[in-house]
Chains A and B, each alone.
Chain A
């Protein structure tokens, strides 16, 4: 089992991590400019507005990716090759993830994906991963 970090989750991110335990993607939304924000902040990075958590769709598109052939990370070393990617959520924010359930060489920029918590990685804390939609 691999912990996500060597220290306790940050207070401002608690609802995000709690959401993941329930297989929900809960991110922050600014109460003044209405923009969605990820990763969790204290104030909206666009206008310093107040942030509230809300559940989002989990739909996203791939912005950029790489096929990882070698990694020293203990949770993933036995799973190469796998696809690491930055995706943009339908609601706007971008996040790091892996793209699962697709042949790695088929991943392209703008590929439409959706969140999944169903994977074979041995992680202590659940992490949002993504897979192609309509598969």
Chain B
């Protein structure tokens, strides 16, 4: 049977998270359909049709889907889910919002945030802030699954040529309305997809320092900026910078943890990084227990020095 992947997009561009979710889906089935739900999202559907491994793209185009409101997405997905053995969405804030709703409408359980596919009905997922990996088997007829995108490698060969067909868009629920979005504009790579992440913690001590100390290093490395929960709570960095159990999960080639002590909740979000570099003045900080390279010292002198040395 086939697997349905829900596309992550902004009505213009197909997001990389979709390709990674397709990679997970290909471990379940070779017949992969992608649902593009949005408004005036034809370009997204065309991009999805080229994605490697996709056999069919289904497009639901309607005003009620323009902002992927969970109420409308849930109804749409639940309406077609039973045609599939599994329905996968990326474990982004969008996927986490609508997929449990769709699953419950079908009276099916959901498996969140998987990091591996063992078989068509058995998945591995982290629990307890990543301190434990649980292997979970679903007995439901349709497996609803969200996928931790950093755990799967996208095939971006664009080797696909899937047919595109329309699906009837759903009517608006009338219970929920999009008012506005305040999206940060970054001229840097996306945090969850970046090859290098420069992350700052409470020791930065102010929003001004966060910016003035970390930005030159991130610019030099073409890196995304991240932050610990402490730095976000203190207002040094915006909420979508947060790396950790309840924020974003990243797995870059290099992760710089600057002035971050390394609470387990933070480690949950970055310990799959290839190389971790820690800069902290406290040599007992737990971050040094996971860092490949550590420097004990004052970040305010070390970070500018590092930027110059690169």
Same assembly: no
